[in-house]
Structure 1
């Protein structure tokens, strides 16, 4: 059975993407640091009739994240799709955030994605297929969002590096850049955004895109 892993499976984009992939018949593994969040998302995906597993792990805890990913592979095989949706979204001006604060934001926004990819993408490459998607944002850097701007620039670089390493083996690595605040019923409705993830996953290899931009105005 085809399967997907959603890391950072929160009530917005994470839940919407999980539901979108479940509608296509993929078994779903949800990973988040909050048990309450996991239960809510699992309940939202459950009625779609596919196997759903929920695992607690902080994206910055490499051992816990690796264990959750290993369990997902054990239960459903090497995933067809992995979505890294964890992020620290906060306003901070230049010089406002401490070194520790920047390190914590970078660990979630970039390093967690790198660690997740290092754990699962080599097996995708060995199989010759798979999709690894990272939720991005900040199409243009903004001085009132320094740590997020730096993190999303890092995501773009990480996508390029992973594509160089694993793209030739058949793994599509890309980001979905969301250029506004996510909220149901708006131009940034999570269900609309989730369509980008499915489209990227199903793109023919000769049409692979490294980034999908959701700029609003689609409703």
Structure 2
């Protein structure tokens, strides 16, 4: 089995790369010498990001991606396979967080979280797993949350999706001997997630909490660390919080 060397740069797919953790991760990994493929629905943003990365000496390409569509995810993975002939790392980052009390019955928002945060992760795994199995190596990084370790008011459904991400990751890890699986659980992080909260009171409370949020690059650094370890070392889970977060 030939294990790809980090010295020549790994081929890394990043979903939800148009802002926040996804954008910061793409920048960090490209700066570390990896070849990044950016996926998101907002193609104008990922196009500008890819151009900026290339302008700074990195290698980056982009493609429109909707993780709720299995066909879209498969096309994204196929495009990377066609370009590079391999896939070393998938960062399953795309996610939404429209928090609200369960009594508000925002069922469409619940379904959206399930579609993006759970089905989106599964679609990514389903698309890259055959490739990684065939090449005898690979690394899947799933972005969970500290909300996947605890449940707070207004976050029941969001937490449920992130608990699911951790469960899926652990199951995949136990089933795997030739690929690595890492869960990254961020605490309060600067991103656009709060903008997707339609409940005004919850949105404002969340923005207030985000005053202590850490920069998104803290998560990019954690991912960079995990994927840079020797093949025989699997960093299974990392929790990263702002020092001030309780």
* Structure 1 and Structure 2 fold alike (TM over 0.5): yes
Match of 1:199 in 2: 225
The unaligned stretches of length 5 or more in structure 1 are: none
Match of 1:74 in 2: 82
Give the distance between the partners of 1:113 and 1:30, measured in 2 at CA: 16
Shift of 1:80: 1.2
**Cα distance, 1:70–1:15 mapped onto 2, change above 3 Å:** same
Give the distance between the partners of 2:51 and 2:105, measured in 1 at CA: 37
Q: Is contact 1:22-1:48 (8 Å) kept?
A: no
Instruction: Count residues in correspondence.
Output: 216
- Local SS of the residue matching 2:29: helix
Q: Is contact 2:188-2:212 (8 Å) kept?
A: no
| Residues 53-92 of structure 1: CA deviation (Å, up to 9, x unaligned) | 1101211011112111111111122221110111111211
Picking from 29, 32, 39, the partner of 1:24 is 32
Shift of 1:16: 1.2
1:214 aligned to 2:240? Answer: yes
Match of 2:150 in 1: 140
Shift of 1:176: 0.8
Give the distance between the partners of 1:97 and 1:87, measured in 2 at CA: 20
Give the distance between the partners of 1:16 and 1:36, measured in 2 at CA: 17
Give the distance between the partners of 1:185 and 1:10, measured in 2 at CA: 22
Q: Is contact 2:73-2:127 (8 Å) kept?
A: no
Q: Is contact 2:98-2:109 (8 Å) kept?
A: no
Give the distance between the partners of 2:23 and 2:212, measured in 1 at CA: 17
1:129 aligned to 2:155? Answer: no
Please report the TM-score for the alignment, with normalisation by the length of structure 2: 0.80
Q: Is contact 2:183-2:236 (8 Å) kept?
A: yes
Picking from 73, 83, 104, the partner of 2:91 is 83
Q: Is contact 2:87-2:131 (8 Å) kept?
A: no
Q: CA RMSD in A?
A: 2.2
The unaligned stretches of length 5 or more in structure 2 are: 1-7, 192-209
Within-5 A mapping of 1:2-81 = 2-81=10-89
Q: Deviation above 4 Å: which 4+ runs of structure 1?
A: 183-187
Q: Is contact 1:79-1:124 (8 Å) kept?
A: yes
